[in-house]
Chain A
Amino acid sequence: MLLSDSDIQSIWLTIRLALVVTVILLIAGTPIAWWLTRSKSRLKGPIGAVVALPLVLPPSVLGFYLLLAMGPNGPVGHLTKALGIGALPFTFWGLVVASVFYSMPFMVQPLQNAFESIGDRPMEVAATLGASPLDAFFTVALPLARPGFLTASVMTFAHTVGEFGVVLMIGGNIPGVSRVASVQIYDHVEALEYGQAHRMAAVMLIFSFLVLLALYAWRPSTLKMAKRD
Chain B
Amino acid sequence: MKLVKHLFVICSLLLVTSAHAEKITVAAAADLKFAMDEIATGFKQSHPGHDLEVVYGSSGKFHTQIQQGAPYDLYFSADIGYPRELAKKGFAASEVKPYAIGRIVLWSNSMDAAKMTLAVLADPKIARIAIANPKHAPYGKRAEEALRSAGLWDKVQSKLVFGENISQTAQFVLSGNAQVGIIALSLALNPELSKHGGYYLIPDKLHEPLEQGYVITKRGAGKPLAKIFSDYMGSKQARRVMTKYGFVLPGEKAGI
Residues of A within 8 A of B (CB): 67-68, 71-73, 86-87, 89-90, 168, 172-174, 187, 189-192
Contact = CB atoms under 8 A, between A and B. Distances in A.
A191 B160 CA distance: 19
Contact of A187 (B64, B133, B163): B133
Contact of A90 (B58, B60, B136, B161): B161
Given A67-B175, A189-B64, A190-B60, A173 B136 contact: no
B164 interface: yes
B176 A73 contact: yes
A95 B163 CA distance: 16
Instruction: Tell me if A's interface is mostly helix, strand, loop or mixed.
Output: loop
B61 interface: yes
Nearest to A168: B164
A89 B164 contact: no
Given A172-B130, A173-B133, A190 B176 contact: no
A72 B135 contact: no
B153 to A, nearest CB: 15
A67 B128 CA distance: 15
Contacts of A173: 133, 161-164
Contacts, number: 53
Contact of A71 (B58, B162, B164, B175): B175
Interface string B166-183: 000000100111100000
B103 interface: no
Contacts of B172: 172
B60 A192 contact: yes
B63 interface: yes
Nearest to B132: A173
* Interface range on chain B (Cβ under 8 Å from partner): 20 to 34
A71 B64 contact: no
Contacts of B136: 187, 190-192
B64 A90 contact: no
B177 A89 contact: yes
Interface of B: 58, 60-61, 63-64, 127-128, 130, 133, 135-136, 160-164, 172, 175-178
A188 B161 CA distance: 17
Contact of A72 (B60, B64, B177): B177
A42 B177 CA distance: 38
A190 B141 CA distance: 13
27 contacts: A67-B175, A71-B176, A71-B177, A87-B177, A89-B177, A90-B128, A90-B161, A90-B177, A172-B128, A172-B130, A172-B161, A172-B162, A172-B178, A173-B162, A173-B163, A174-B161, A187-B133, A187-B135, A187-B136, A189-B64, A190-B58, A190-B60, A191-B60, A191-B136, A192-B60, A192-B63, A192-B64
6 A-B pairs with the lowest CB-CB distances in the bound complex, closest first: A172-B161, A173-B162, A190-B136, A191-B136, A190-B60, A89-B177
Contacts of B177: 67, 71-72, 87, 89-90, 172
Given A86-B127, A90-B177, A187-B133, 20 more contacts: A67-B177, A68-B175, A71-B175, A73-B175, A87-B177, A168-B164, A172-B161, A172-B178, A173-B133, A173-B161, A173-B163, A173-B164, A174-B160, A187-B135, A187-B136, A190-B60, A190-B136, A191-B60, A191-B136, A192-B136
